[in-house]
Amino acid sequence: MGVIDGLVSLLFGSGRNVIRDTAEVFRENAENAGEREASYRAAALAQFAAEFGQPRMGSFDRFMNALNRVPRPMLALGTLGLFTSAMIDPIWFAARMQGIALVPDPLWWLLGAIVSFYFGARHQTKGQEFQRGLAETLARAGQVTSNLRALEVLQAGAEPDDNPALAAWRKSDGE
């Protein structure tokens, strides 16, 4: 047994596993990694429990929580209100958008920076695309106004007199 003991001691060391120790140089010990992960998670949960475990009963905390919940719904409801006002009274809406068209570019950039900081990841190009689209929409306001007048005339029961295609069709039909 002395020779075998000597050979095993040479390969595995005295009470140590040389092969395992060598393998751990190249590959992490899964059991030790699991223990480290469990202790990390326990520490994180303890920190969260210490931070959020105490009830916040102060009126300032409740006010700040309520205030932090206001901007997103207000922006969403405000946008829906703009769509509604554009459908109800397009001329009033167009007049308000003319005022927005006079806002200088640096102020739009500042507004874009504030909103992007608040919400996390807005881009300047999105703001510029919005401004370009707004300008295109305002350019069509005259066409929309004339279409609304024509619709009002049709709704009143009269036909518009300045339609050359309709007049030519009536002449060709024999009216």
pLDDT tens per residue, range 53-80: 766 678 888 887 788 778 778 888 999 9
Task: Extract the tokens encoding 55.
Answer: 């009830």
Q: Is the model's pLDDT at 105 over the cut of 80?
A: yes
Which is it for the CA torsion 115, 120, 124, 129, positive or negative? negative
Task: Extract the tokens encoding 108.
Answer: 């739009």
Over the stretch 146-158, which tens digit does the pLDDT of each residue have?
888 888 887 776 6
Nearest to 112 by CA among 97, 126, 91: 126
Which residues fall within 8 angstroms of residue 160, CB to CB, at 6 or more apart? Answer: 150, 153, 154
Which residues fall within 8 angstroms of residue 118, CB to CB, at 6 or more apart? Answer: 71
Phi, psi of 58 (to 5 degrees): -70, 145
Q: What is the mean pLDDT of residues 136-154?
A: 84
